[in-house]
Structure 1
Amino acid sequence: MDKKVTVVGAGNVGATAAQRLAEKQLCDVVLVDIAEGLPQGKALDLAEAAPIEKHDACLTGTNDYGETAGSDIVIITAGIPRKPGMSRDDLLKTNSDIMKSVVKNIAEKSPDAILIIVSNPLDAMCHVAFEASGFDKKRVIGMAGVLDSARFRCFIARELNVSVENTHAFVLGGHGDTMVPLPRFSTVAGIPITELMSKDRIDALVDRTRTGGAEIVSLLKTGSAFYAPASAAVEMAESILKDKKKILPCAVYLEGEYNINGLFIGVPVKLGSTGIEEVIEIELKDDEAADLQKSADAVRSLVDAMAAL
């Protein structure tokens, strides 16, 4: 295939992203991880499924960044989850160090690549990747809003007993409890959900969306979500690889848009072959704008904490 995507991190999110990319026949895939044998084994397993799934994507597993050279897109899922007894600062420092190392290797081997960041804490990791890579801001993009919006769409569809294909939603802000779902921009077949359900029900769905990741963690007990995060990253990659110019909510570096400066925050953007082609500014009501600023403040506190480490 004429396109190449590297996925860094061969855990659940990374391996599922590799599977989605290959089975959609979007590109050849390189799966890289520091664990010897892990990316090789998963890539071989996926390759052996190819005759059944009927795709000809080349899948490579490696511990060597040399094999990632010339990647069009790099999806970064590497990092560790927060463990018992680990402080937020410990998690920030550990994942920041991992991100710096990964991005320096990627920037050296694929200087023209577009980065899609999935590692947590996502908004803060986008800053690390941006600074470590030296890339233009249009080529460093955080996966958050696509996932959060998909969760909102899922809950809306289940609530109203309609197809998920008919539902559309926007969730802005940071990837966490302060995210900002926007009910009046969320629709079913073009009809705002504010016309289809009560405020109490909408509020309940908004709250569930905000805690969607934690809900899955509480159910799994020993892990976190990976199917939906992988799908979200691949939807972004597909829009870039095919120059589809989809409007998707992504974490991007803002310089004055939405009255936010110098932060990665989730807002609607147009994704095409060069990365972020346009930041879409929508007019927010006072309460929505206040919620977005509150979310930005939460992200800034993370970035400041990381800088102080």
Structure 2
Amino acid sequence: MSAKGNKISIIGAGFVGSTTAFALMTSGLTCEIVIVDINKDKAEGEAMDLSDGISFVRPIEVTAGEYADTKDSDIVIITAGVGQKPGQTRLDCISKNLAVFKTIVPKIVKFSPNSILLVVSNPVDILTYITYKISGFPSNRVIGSGTVLDTSRFKYLLSKHFEIDARNVHTYIMGEHGDSEIATWSLTSIAGMNVDEYCNICTRKCSGEMKFDIYEEVKNSASIIIKKKGATYYAIALAIKRIVEAILSNENSILTVSSLLKGEYGIKDIYMGVPSIVGRNGVKKILGVKLSEDENMKLFESSKVLKSVIEESKI
């Protein structure tokens, strides 16, 4: 599918929103990007800065606007909200962002009733569930960035350990985009071999300690980056671009987006990052991949963490 006619709106012109706009502008996936922010000057400044480089990319229009200007968007990306601060977990952001979403989601729905809503703001699983409830959209058209970035971090760290191309590492991080996420070691494969088999033909150690250290680094990566530079935005922008690409190109790609579970893995009525087939209409199918008994248990525990937050928030 060509970029002709594809319109993407980004709600929120902060670090993540503006970097996402840049990633999408250079991707050639869309012909129009609209940026909306409560700080109109910030949105206009970002649009002007991006527009100055239009002669270097495929034809595209980048503008700042009001919600009315997002009318008939194919995808609306929500990055607005209160960001995670040093020392906070993603779940700590919930109360303030709940109020924000109750304001912005109805406006999005009013002007783009046939769009796909892609939620990125944290805590992403909870806010995707909130967006689903407020919007009234079918669940396939409300998705979150989930653990797409976490999975990329996992692949990157494994590629460093084994000194191979990260694209040749096949695995998932599943569950909450946060502290209860799980690494699916039982599904991790390289060159058609599971990770333990691959260890037998390489010179790298593959102890339980190595697995624990890599998982901990994946889980804590965002907190470390936030502590060092204040925010994370480059890698998540690339993850968003990847999800948008799968949607607009109708790829039917398997990505660990945050999807509404309806009994898969014994879990219902919660959004979590799980392997899902993503195409032009959003989530086409959730895949019930075979996990180890321990991983299944941890995934269920992750869902309980998210459910408890929803119950406490009285969503």
Per the TM superposition, whether the score is higher than 0.5 is yes
TM-score by structure 2 length? Answer: 0.92
Instruction: Go from structure 1 to structure 2 and tell me whether the alpha carbon gap of 1:148 and 1:283 turns closer, same or farther (over 3 Å shift).
Output: same
How many angstroms does 1:82 deviate by? 4.5
Of 123, 126, 138, which residue of structure 1 is paired with 2:128?
Answer: 126
Report what 2:38 is aligned to: 34
Which range moves more in the overlay, 74-83 or 24-33?
Answer: 74-83
1:194 offset after TM fit, Å?
2.6
Contact 2:186/2:291 (<8 A) preserved? no
Give me the CA root mean square deviation.
Answer: 1.9
What is the one-letter code of the residue matched to 1:206?
A: Y
Find the counterpart in structure 2 of residue 275 from structure 1.
282
Tell me, in whole angstroms, the C-alpha distance in 1 between the residues paired with 2:45 and 2:15: 13
Query: Is it true that 1:202 corresponds to 2:211 in the alignment?
Result: yes
Determine the structure 1 residue equivalent to 2:11: 8
SS at match of 1:211: helix
Q: Give the CA deviation at 1:198.
A: 2.6
Describe the SS at the equivalent of 2:117: strand
* Partner residue, 2:234: 227
Distance in 1 separating the partners of 2:153 and 2:190: 14
Deviations 1:201-236 (A, max 9, x none): 12211111111211211222xx22111111111111
TM-superposed deviation, 1:144: 2.0
2:202 is matched with none
Contact 1:68 1:110 in 2 (8 A): yes
Task: Pick the aligned partner of 2:163 from 147, 153, 161.
Answer: 161
Distance 2:5 2:273 in 1: 30
Give the deviation of 1:85 after TM superposition.
11
2:26 is matched with which residue? 23
What's the counterpart of residue 264 of structure 1? 271
Q: Deviations over 1:63-120 (max 9, x none)?
A: x101100000011000012558999998322101111211111000000010111111
Q: CA deviation at 1:61?
A: 1.2
Contact 1:89–1:306 at 8 Å: present in 2 too? no
Report the equivalent of 1:287.
294
Helix, strand or coil at the partner of 1:37: helix
Q: Percent identity?
A: 32
Matched residue of 1:252: which SS? Answer: strand
Cα pair 1:170 1:186 within 8 Å, conserved: yes
* Candidates 300, 304, 309, aligned match of 2:311: 304
Match of 2:203 in 1: none
Provide, for residues 252-295 of structure 1, a one-character-per-residue CA deviation record: whole Å limited to 9, x for no partner: 11111110011111111000111110110012221111000110
Amino acid at match of 2:212: D
Q: List aligned pairs for 1:97-246, cutoff 5 A.
A: 97-195=99-197, 196=199, 197-220=206-229, 223-246=230-253
1:49 aligns with 2:53: yes
Unmatched runs of 5 consecutive residues or more in structure 2: 200-205
Q: Which runs of 5+ in 1 are unaligned?
A: none
Shift of the 268–70 alpha-carbon distance from structure 1 to 2, 3 Å rule, reads same
| Residues 238 and 88 (structure 1), Cα distance of their counterparts in 2 relative to 1, 3 Å cut | closer
